[in-house]
Structure 1
């Protein structure tokens, strides 16, 4: 597992993408690689937006994790944010011209599994898993059986 701490600034989104891409297995199918990087980017974007709004509360960093399971090559990404608010149970409708609000829809469509969990120190960890083998994607977030380390 690899972990990166980033300041809650917009430039951190690109930094997270550039950091995570080389950590992915070289034989990961290109469409799956693109999905992982896109979802990670969306999760970091959300964490930055939330942390920026909470800056007065002393938020310093967001945490980004990438875990590649050595047994099956599945990839899990996790991003922490300072909000204790749960994720909505399902993506909400977004107006066609809106310039934001599609992150959870992308997460729901691209990840094979995803969810969130509160952190003991406050905030939450949002995670997404991508499986190498073709597997049906499930809809709607839920808590994982085993959380990524940063989600504790």
Structure 2
């Protein structure tokens, strides 16, 4: 595993379920590049968080003609991977604590998973437009 911070930047995806799937696959490949096999706990956790944040960007942050971006940063010294998913919608920011879905509901658990798997997570405005939802996962 590298000893310095390694960054993957500028990955753009279409705002579609296929785009979210490709973002997750890219995360798994990047984790392999950083020494974490696809079946490892660290890679699976990062892939799940990327999948949830990308799916939320597609579902809640979609603007016609605009995609979403993914940035992954490995801080090997701290043992963290930072995941950033940016979309073009500013007004729909995630809650600071995940909502509790109805037990029979078929959706609404994504941020609960992110909250469990991430050391910390949050969101920030993106200039000139949009927001970035980020999470840090231990590796």
TM class by shorter chain equals 0.7 to 0.9
Where do 5+ consecutive residues of structure 1 fail to align? Answer: 133-152
Higher strand share: 2
- Answer whether contact 2:96 2:122 (CA < 8 A) is retained: no
Larger deviation: 67-76 or 96-105?
Answer: 67-76
Q: Residue 66 in 1 paired to residue 75 in 2?
A: no
What whole-Å deviation, never above 9, does each CA across 1:80-100 have from its counterpart, x for those lacking one?
122213321211111222221
What TM-score, normalized to structure 2?
A: 0.83
- Answer whether contact 1:50 1:81 (CA < 8 A) is retained: no
Structure 2 equivalent of residue 130 of structure 1: 137
In the alignment, the residues of structure 2 paired with residue 97 and residue 10 of structure 1 have an alpha-carbon distance, to the nearest angstrom, of 23
Structure 2 equivalent of residue 97 of structure 1: 104
CA-based RMSD = 1.8
Q: Which structure 1 residue ranges, 4+ long, deviate > 2 Å from structure 2?
A: 70-73
Structure 1 equivalent of residue 4 of structure 2: none
Give how far 1:72 is off: 3.6
In the alignment, the residues of structure 2 paired with residue 124 and residue 112 of structure 1 have an alpha-carbon distance, to the nearest angstrom, of 20
